[in-house]
Amino acid sequence: MISEEERQIIKETLDHKANGTTHMLDDVMHNPVAKYNDPDQLRAEMDILFKNFPIIIAHSSDLPDAGSFLTYDDLQAPILVTRNNDGQVKAFLNVCRHRGARVEDKPCGKARTFSCPYHSWTFDLNGNLRGLPQPFGFGDLDKSKLGLVELPVFEEFGMIWVMPSKTEQTIDFDAWTAPMREQLNGLDLGGHVVFKKWSLDRNMSWRLALEGFQESYHFCSAHRDTACSSYLDNQSVHMNFYPHVRHAVPLPSIEELREKPEAEWDYRPHYMTQNYLFPANFVQVMTDHVYVHTIIPTGQGTCKFQCMMLIPEAPKTEKAERYWNKNYDLIRIVFDEDFVIGEGIQKGLNTNANQEFLFGMYECGLHFGQTAIDDALKGDLTVTTV
Ligand code: FES
Ligand SMILES: [Fe+2]
């Protein structure tokens, strides 16, 4: 059973293929190069995009039990994430309320309480300050006011999403992700297994890494010997679910559907779908597995690419293990092809060879993504609150 949205994507693909056309916008977009190399621009992006919007930091299985915790340091704040005794995920600034030490230093583990290494103030899984040595030295201390600072966190679609800055407002995550929910819920990513997880530091603006996933015009150049033959050349259908984007890249097998009644259509075997979830999260759905990646700026001209490969179940045979490893090896090559190009662009950014970059009319994901980023930086786009 496919959704109405998928039926529409399939129809568009078949029509374009029959007519020798592709999905296009009305105009080319001119994007100033200053957006990629201006330090003030990057500061604004780090302060707004990477603090005030939900970022994927882990899979649900990374916090399997009550008492599971992980620490995360790739955003601008040190973060501690726990699963409490009710099974809820909680996130906190990993900053002691006494004099600021890191409360927990291990990358992950299991604990009932967290004892700060500096003077042993102790916090529970809900961030409450439970005790401190020699409390008489602090007079009339109100422990209820000295819990760890809580951050908005969401466990949705099998992923842990954190909004890295403190807010008094209640975030409506359902509304924020509304147009993507049907598709993402249908994937059952929470029931998937993390087959591989990796993190790369690359010498390129985070924007350049991001843009590699927002169009397929580059596939038959940049991925000539790898991904090119697996997909129809530059035939993407982009759905603008502002500020998110569903980017559907058809496989040649889509042609099989042309003669079939619509009631028999299926979607997933015929598309690779790169779902962009603002500001820098991707859920990239392959025909039988999924990559979830997040791109984070780490400085001027540098970024971190974090990725997990999710498969429907743990491999039970050597053959299955080999199959998934083959997919993993291939995607590492394909992603690397993008990153090598991106690092090359980075080297030329400051030359003034270009005052602006051109987004072609079929590079729709670039237009949509850039518009949403511009809006957020202007203050016109904020995460949905209640
Ligand atoms: S800084 Fe944590 S107990 Fe002192
Ligand atoms: Fe690519």
Q: Using the 3D structure, point to which of 137, 169, 201 is the last residue of a domain.
A: 169
199 and 119 in one domain?
no
Mean pLDDT of 179-184: 97
Buried b (16+ CB within 10 A) or exposed e, 342-366: bbebbeebeeeeeeebebeebbbbb
Among protein residues, the one whose CA lies closest to atom 3 of ligand 1:
119
What's the 135 CA to ligand 1 centre distance in angstroms? Answer: 13
Q: How confident is the model at residue 105 (pLDDT cuts 50, 70, 90)?
A: very high
Mean pLDDT of 163-185: 94
**The ligand 1 atom nearest the CA atom of 116:** 2
Does residue 117 lie in a domain region? Answer: yes
**Does pLDDT of 168 surpass 90?**
no
Q: Which of 92, 94, 98, 149 to mutate to test the pocket of ligand 1 (most atoms within 8 A of CB)?
A: 98
Give the phi and the psi of residue 84 in degrees, each rounded to 5.
-85, 180
Helical spans, DSSP H, in 177-295: 178-186, 206-211, 219-222
Does residue 385 lie in a domain region? Answer: no
Q: In this structure, what CATH number is given to the domain that contains residue 362?
A: 3.90.380.10
What's the 218 CA to ligand 2 centre distance in angstroms? Answer: 7
pLDDT of residue 231: 98
Mean pLDDT of 357-380: 98
Does residue 383 lie in a domain region? Answer: no
pLDDT of residue 91: 98
321 and 219 in one domain?
yes
368 and 269 in one domain?
yes
Q: Give the list of residues 6+ apart from residue 245 with CB closer than 8 angstroms, or none.
A: 214, 238, 239, 275, 276, 364, 365, 368, 369
Closest-approaching ligand to the CA atom of 341 = 2
191 and 259 in one domain?
yes
Does residue 232 lie in a domain region? Answer: yes
**The ligand 1 atom nearest the CA atom of 132:** 3
Contacts 24+ apart (CB under 8 A), 117-122: 121/96, 121/97
pTM above 0.95, yes or no: yes
Q: How confident is the model at residue 166 (pLDDT cuts 50, 70, 90)?
A: confident
Does residue 384 lie in a domain region? Answer: no
Among protein residues, the one whose CA lies closest to atom 1 of ligand 1:
99
pLDDT of residue 279: 98
Of 331 and 166, the one with more pLDDT: 331
**Dist. CA 175–CA 240, nearest whole Å:** 16
% of the chain residues with pLDDT over 90: 98
What's the 124 CA to ligand 2 centre distance in angstroms? Answer: 44
Mean pLDDT of 85-113: 98
Does residue 386 lie in a domain region? Answer: no
Does residue 337 lie in a domain region? Answer: yes
**Mean of the per-residue pLDDT values for the chain?**
97
Among protein residues, the one whose CA lies closest to atom 4 of ligand 1:
119
**Dist. CA 234–CA 228, nearest whole Å:** 10
Give the phi and the psi of residue 342 in degrees, each rounded to 5.
-60, -40
% of the chain residues with pLDDT over 70: 100
What's the 214 CA to ligand 2 centre distance in angstroms? Answer: 9
Q: How confident is the model at residue 100 (pLDDT cuts 50, 70, 90)?
A: very high
**Dist. CA 320–CA 289, nearest whole Å:** 13
245 and 339 in one domain?
yes
276 and 132 in one domain?
no
Closest-approaching ligand to the CA atom of 114 = 1
pLDDT digits (tens, 9 = 90+) for 236-269: 999 999 999 999 999 999 999 999 999 999 999 9
Q: Using the 3D structure, point to which of 169, 203, 233 is the last residue of a domain.
A: 169
Q: How confident is the model at residue 126 (pLDDT cuts 50, 70, 90)?
A: very high
pLDDT digits (tens, 9 = 90+) for 199-209: 999 999 999 99
Q: How confident is the model at residue 111 (pLDDT cuts 50, 70, 90)?
A: very high
Q: Using the 3D structure, point to which of 169, 188, 212 is the last residue of a domain.
A: 169
350 and 238 in one domain?
yes
Of 167 and 83, the one with more pLDDT: 83
189 and 135 in one domain?
no
Q: In this structure, what CATH number is given to the domain that contains residue 165?
A: 2.102.10.10
What's the 81 CA to ligand 1 centre distance in angstroms? Answer: 19
What's the 220 CA to ligand 2 centre distance in angstroms? Answer: 9
pLDDT of residue 208: 98
Task: Dihedral sign for Cα 137, 139, 140, 146, please.
Answer: negative
344 and 211 in one domain?
yes
Mean pLDDT of 44-63: 97
**Dist. CA 111–CA 100, nearest whole Å:** 20
210 and 68 in one domain?
no
Alpha-carbon separation of residue 386 from 49, 174, 279, 378 (angstroms): 20, 11, 20, 21
- If one counts the domains in the chain, the total is 2
Give residue ranges with CB within 6 A of ligand 1: 96, 98-101, 116, 118-121
Does residue 253 lie in a domain region? Answer: yes
Q: Which two tokens stand for residue 331?
A: 């995607």
**Does pLDDT of 78 surpass 90?**
yes
Closest-approaching ligand to the CA atom of 272 = 2
pLDDT digits (tens, 9 = 90+) for 22-34: 999 999 999 999 9
239 and 188 in one domain?
yes
Mean pLDDT of 95-117: 98
DSSP state of 49: I
**Residue range(s) defining the domain that contains residue 72:** 56-169
Give the residue among 155, 72, 76, 66 at the shortest CA–CA distance from 106: 72
261 and 200 in one domain?
yes
Q: How confident is the model at residue 1 (pLDDT cuts 50, 70, 90)?
A: confident
What's the 286 CA to ligand 1 centre distance in angstroms? Answer: 47
**Does pLDDT of 320 surpass 90?**
yes
**Does pLDDT of 223 surpass 90?**
yes
**The ligand 1 atom nearest the CA atom of 119:** 3
